[in-house]
């Protein structure tokens, strides 16, 4: 008897682009459409997105992927069983409940305008920077949604008025997308999933509910917050006016958590996603592991309302692939992002140049929002190739810093050797992957499908509607990972590796306390 056709869609709304991908029953990609959108920089250190432009890219990408799917295989829309959503985390929006219009641009996760808010909270609260770590697993930082929301409440009159009138809704990008996709004003479902909620500073990691004490201390009204759901459950149906009307939204995860599912990371396994930033997560199972070395304690995933919660240690690196975009758009030394590999290969090494891309401060393990980018070691010998290579090395040095902290917190591997699973767009760069193995001094494993973020969202949605079971998703993880895998092994000696890392550490120190020059 033939198996009934079944397809799952994944809406991947990232920091610089939106994609919609369609997978078949075997979780094979059959169609995809991607569109970049505008990055808005009102001031140094400020980064915004137009929420309405994001919605338009979603519409365009869904339509584009549907057209491609119809051309490529025996696909019909009625065979699409559900979609999953994955998104850039921490980016913060407030909009009108009655009109559906945003009351301000989305403040992006890497924006540092809330530094004064953070300093004030650190001074006022008894625990200083770590005051909320016990409940949320997170330090006070410009990174997280709560400080952005406080800034909006204190500085934007339209937000203040809407809150006073009971007409304001808060959400991260997942919430904004779901609310609009399910009907918007008067009809939209106002929810967030537990992984995105875990990035706001407002969630109690143990109860998976908004922490009342935190809300009181930060003066954030609970009525503007969304309801929290798991990562795999039917949330609502896509409304009239959108492509895919009537299709269930059945999965939702922040991008890094989706990548963990896409990489099939079980307890004790780690992955690193190279995108705009770089994010390394270690699944710690049902144990909440506090960090003593500058990492974050967060949720890995919860695949159903009654499923156990898997937690994680995370090392968040603000700037990774975004540094390559800066070489392209800011300096103009490459025409496309892919050009960096050839340019970096034109030199045998970085020529003693070290680049710390602290454009908006440094996240893990330093947590210095006063840091700014530095390029050191420049001589008359330095050329474009050296800067390109130093940019790739900056990603790898930052990953090593985080992995060392992770080992110290959780004893990632008692033998001392790490197998790093990697994914994300930047991993197509073979030179970057080799540099990562060299600087780490350990193997790097790249799967055949590097877009594991979208894959994770699709797997969660398919799980919720019965296309897959959890056992089929996680069974034979080694077999799944082995298909089309590329392995990169270290090629340099330990002495050279350590010398370069020591020089990098010196360069990092030079990036501190430079925000007053911005």
pTM for the predicted model, two decimal places: 0.86
The tokens for 181 are 């996709």
Q: pLDDT category, 191, cuts 50, 70, 90?
A: very high
Q: Is residue 440 part of a domain?
A: no
Residue 481's pLDDT is: 47
Q: Is residue 128 part of a domain?
A: yes
Q: Which residue, among 155, 153, 47, has the nearest Cα to 108 in the 3D structure?
A: 47
**Could you read off the pLDDT of 132-159 as tens digits, one per residue?**
999 999 999 999 999 999 999 999 999 9
pLDDT at 217 over 50: yes
Residue 146's pLDDT is: 97
Q: Which helix (DSSP H) or strand (DSSP E) does residue 136 occupy?
A: helix 133-136
Q: Is residue 354 part of a domain?
A: yes
Both 347 and 250 in one domain: the answer is no
Both 85 and 196 in one domain: the answer is yes
CA dihedral 101, 185, 114, 117 (to 10 degrees): 130
pLDDT at 437 over 50: yes
**Could you read off the pLDDT of 1-19 as tens digits, one per residue?**
457 788 999 999 999 999 9
Q: Is residue 220 part of a domain?
A: yes
Residue 516's pLDDT is: 66
Q: What angle do CA 232, 252, 228 make, to 5 degrees?
A: 80
The Cα–Cα gap between 314 and 427 comes to: 19
Both 114 and 248 in one domain: the answer is yes
Residue 77's pLDDT is: 85
Task: Count how many domains the chain has.
Answer: 2
Both 252 and 392 in one domain: the answer is no
Residue that is last in its domain, among 256, 275, 290: 256
Both 359 and 228 in one domain: the answer is no
Q: Which residues pair with 11 in a beta bridge?
A: 20, 85
Q: pLDDT category, 480, cuts 50, 70, 90?
A: very low
Residue 479's pLDDT is: 47
Q: Is residue 506 part of a domain?
A: yes
Both 221 and 335 in one domain: the answer is no
242-256, 280-294, 297-311, 406-420, range with the lowest pLDDT = 406-420
Share of the chain above pLDDT 90, in %: 73
Q: Is residue 25 part of a domain?
A: yes
Both 37 and 183 in one domain: the answer is yes
The Cα–Cα gap between 108 and 92 comes to: 7
Q: pLDDT category, 418, cuts 50, 70, 90?
A: low
Residue 396's domain comprises 321-412+492-517
Residue that is last in its domain, among 211, 240, 256: 256
The Cα–Cα gap between 102 and 111 comes to: 18
Both 220 and 327 in one domain: the answer is no
Both 58 and 202 in one domain: the answer is yes
Residues 243 and 59 sit within 8 Å (Cβ to Cβ): yes
Q: Is residue 449 part of a domain?
A: no
Q: Is residue 279 part of a domain?
A: no
Both 509 and 370 in one domain: the answer is yes
Q: What is the CATH number of the domain that holds 40?
A: 3.30.420.40
Both 195 and 92 in one domain: the answer is yes
pLDDT at 503 over 70: yes
Residue 452's pLDDT is: 87
Residue that is last in its domain, among 202, 222, 256: 256
Both 234 and 336 in one domain: the answer is no
pLDDT at 415 over 60: no
Residues 247 and 234 sit within 8 Å (Cβ to Cβ): no
């Amino acid at each position: 008897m033939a198996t009934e056709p079944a397809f799952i869609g994944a809406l991947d709304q990232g920091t610089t682009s939106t994609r919609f991908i369609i997978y078949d029953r075997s979780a094979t990609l059959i169609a995809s459409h991607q569109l970049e959108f505008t990055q808005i920089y009102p001031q140094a250190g400020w980064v915004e997105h137009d929420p309405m432009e994001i919605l338009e890219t979603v519409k365009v990408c869904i339509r584009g992927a549907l057209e491609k799917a119809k051309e490529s295989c025996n696909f019909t829309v009625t065979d699409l069983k559900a979609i999953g959503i994955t998104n850039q985390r921490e980016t913060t929006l407030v909009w009108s409940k009655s009109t559906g219009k945003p009351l301000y641009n989305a403040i992006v996760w890497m924006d540092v305008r809330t530094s004064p808010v953070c300093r004030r909270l650190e001074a006022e609260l008894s625990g200083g920077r770590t005051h909320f770590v016990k409940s949320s697993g997170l330090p006070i930082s410009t990174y997280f949604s709560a400080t952005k929301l406080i800034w909006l409440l204190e500085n934007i009159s339209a937000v203040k008025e809407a809150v006073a009138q009971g007409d304001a809704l808060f959400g991260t990008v997942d919430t904004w997308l779901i609310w609009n996709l399910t009907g918007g004003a008067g009809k939209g479902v106002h929810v967030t999933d537990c992984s995105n909620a875990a990035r706001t500073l407002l969630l109690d990691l143990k109860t998976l509910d908004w922490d009342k004490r935190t809300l009181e201390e930060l003066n954030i009204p609970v009525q503007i917050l969304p309801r929290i759901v798991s990562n795999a459950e039917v949330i609502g149906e896509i409304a009239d006016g959108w492509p895919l009307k009537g299709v269930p939204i059945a999965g939702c995860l922040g991008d890094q958590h989706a990548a963990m599912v896409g990489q099939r990371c079980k307890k004790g396994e780690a992955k690193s996603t190279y995108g705009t930033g770089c994010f390394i997560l270690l699944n710690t199972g049902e144990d909440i592991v506090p960090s003593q070395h500058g990492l974050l304690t967060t949720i890995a995933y919860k695949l159903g309302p009654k499923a156990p919660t898997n937690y994680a240690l995370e090392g968040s690196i603000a700037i990774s692939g975004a540094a390559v975009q800066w070489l392209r758009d800011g300096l103009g030394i490459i025409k496309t992002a892919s050009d960096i590999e050839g340019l970096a290969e034109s030199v045998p090494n970085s020529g003693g140049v070290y680049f710390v891309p602290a454009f908006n401060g440094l996240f893990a393990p330093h947590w210095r929002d006063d840091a700014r980018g530095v390029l050191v070691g420049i001589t008359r010998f330095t050329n474009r190739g050296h800067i390109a290579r130093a940019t790739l090395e900056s990603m790898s040095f930052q990953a090593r810093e985080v992995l060392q902290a992770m080992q110290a917190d959780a004893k990632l591997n008692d033998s001392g050797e790490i197998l790093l699973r990697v994914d994300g767009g930047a991993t197509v760069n073979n030179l970057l992957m080799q540099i990562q193995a060299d600087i780490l001094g350990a193997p790097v494993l790249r799967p055949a499908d590097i877009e594991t973020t979208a894959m994770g969202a699709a797997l969660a949605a398919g799980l919720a509607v019965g296309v897959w079971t959890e056992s089929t998703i996680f069974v034979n993880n080694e077999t799944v990972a082995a298909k089309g895998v590329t392995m990169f092994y270290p090629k340099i000696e330990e002495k050279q590796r350590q010398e370069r890392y020591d020089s990098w550490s010196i360069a990092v120190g030079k990036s501190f306390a430079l925000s007053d020059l911005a």
